[in-house]
Amino acid sequence: MFQSLSTLANKRIILGLTGGIAAYKSAELTRLFKKAGAEVRVVLTPAAAEFITPLTLQALSGNPVHQHILDPAAEAGMGHIELAKWADLILIAPASADFIARMAAGMGNDLLTTLCLASEAPIAIAPAMNQAMWHDTRTQSNVKQLESLGMQLWGPGAGDQACGDSGLGRMLEPEQLAELSGAMFSSGALSGLRVCITAGPTREAIDPVRYISNHSSGKMGYALAEAAIEAGARVTLISGPVNLNSPERVCRITVTNAQQMLDAALAQMGRCDVFIAAAAVADYRPASVAEQKIKKSDDTMTLTLVKNPDIVATVASHPQRPFTVGFAAETERMLEHARAKLERKTLDMIIANDVAQQGIGFNSDDNAVTVVTRNSEQSLPLASKSQLARTLVTLIAQHLAIPRH
């Protein structure tokens, strides 16, 4: 596999096909994405479906192919909007002259153009058309318009065309497009740095079968680990009990309770440049743990709790402290509490989110946060945790004032 394709693991890609003979190449592109570990959802325009069958692309992607903006099976949940939020990257390959013109005009008259308008994911376009159509002044004007909006233009290539002409207008080969897609997730912003991240909940034992914990799934911390790897860092992930696979190229240390997580974190001092405390650590633990299962006898039971160590505050006060980032999961007065934690625990940055809101935070695939430093506040709107993690890693890199190794 090409080197940069490793960054596509666990990425969510919408592959849009428009009308053109080059659509046959998109079957191989779908296969390459899947081989690299990406999840692919294919969207066909009506014209594209004349060149390649949905069944072919469904078999290769492992997902249903999307064709209609008003799909009764999906629209009860605003399916096209959910699909737009789902993507880490939208790639239109092939992109016809007609599609490029409609996008430049801001039209949303089919599923694919609507997704592009509704998504905050990066959009890349791989043109495929007759060489005369490519050189037409209006097409060139439309392309410049899309580039000015921040869309990536990949190609076209030059060579013989199906119509018999030769020149610019060929869609780039699937291998080239896969490489370019992989490069989208390789920022290098943390190149050479060592990052330690805590993730997931902790469990504080009451007896051999019961414990105190919380609803954290670990998804945000794991997404941050993936984003830091993409950005070139060497990552140690200290994880509480979660049902998630370890990201590739991450050193994972599995712990159960707060004390174990603190011990693992302190062992990284002097060996990490950035510490991100994304774990939801239990604030309290039972004062004593019963050796045997507590039997249900009385109508009430008194449980004495003692405070757990504050992991992120301990790290921030360490003589070999790294750049320290905390999280604040709040249910009220989010920014007030977050800024108080930033000051009290002497953090460099804190990432605050309102876990009382439906659809974000604990156990969700999406999140919306506000990044707080001593001198700034920046709100990041609702996005997938993967997208959000990449943005957070970029912001952390911008705030760093430490030497690179």
How far apart are alpha carbons 38 and 16 in whole angstroms? 15
- pLDDT category of residue 3 using cuts at 50, 70 and 90: very low
Q: Are 105 and 27 in contact (CB under 8 A)?
A: no
Q: Are 171 and 22 in contact (CB under 8 A)?
A: yes
* Residue-level pLDDT at 167: 78
How far apart are alpha carbons 128 and 49 in whole angstroms? 16
257-279 residue pLDDT tens = 999 999 999 999 999 999 999 99
160-183 residue pLDDT tens = 767 677 778 899 999 999 999 988
From start to end of 192-293, where are the E strands? 194-199, 204-205, 211-212, 234-239, 250-254, 274-277, 284-286
Q: Where are the alpha helices (DSSP H) in 267-364?
A: 311-316, 334-344
Sign of the torsion formed by the C-alpha atoms of 60, 62, 66 and 71: positive
Q: Is 159 left (phi over 0), alpha (psi -120 to 50) or beta?
A: left
163 is catalytic: yes
321-380 residue pLDDT tens = 999 999 998 878 899 999 999 999 999 999 998 877 766 656 678 888 999 999 899 999
Query: Among 116, 163, 196, 272, which one carries the catalytic annotation?
Result: 163
pTM over 0.85: no
Strand partners for 199: 239
Closest CA to 131 of 101, 103, 99, 97: 97
How far apart are alpha carbons 94 and 128 in whole angstroms? 5
Sign of the torsion formed by the C-alpha atoms of 378, 383, 386 and 387: negative
Q: What SS3 state is found at 393?
A: helix
Closest CA to 345 of 311, 386, 379, 389: 311
How far apart are alpha carbons 82 and 242 in whole angstroms? 25
275-295 residue pLDDT tens = 999 999 999 999 999 999 998
Indicate whether 186 pLDDT > 70.
Answer: no
How far apart are alpha carbons 203 and 285 in whole angstroms? 9
Query: In the chain, what are the domains?
Result: 3-183 (3.40.50.1950), 194-399 (3.40.50.10300)
Residues whose CB falls within 8 Å of the CB of residue 74, separated by 6 or more in sequence, listed in order: 66, 80, 82, 83
Sign of the torsion formed by the C-alpha atoms of 99, 100, 101 and 104: positive
Q: What SS3 state is found at 162?
A: coil
67-82 residue pLDDT tens = 987 766 554 444 667 8
Pairing of strands 250-254, 234-239: parallel
* Least reliable range by pLDDT among 36-40, 53-57, 100-104, 139-143: 36-40
Residue type present at position 86: W
- pLDDT category of residue 404 using cuts at 50, 70 and 90: very low
Closest CA to 81 of 114, 43, 41: 114
C-alpha distances in angstroms, 196 versus 87, 229, 235, 390? 27, 11, 6, 16
Closest CA to 243 of 254, 234, 235: 254
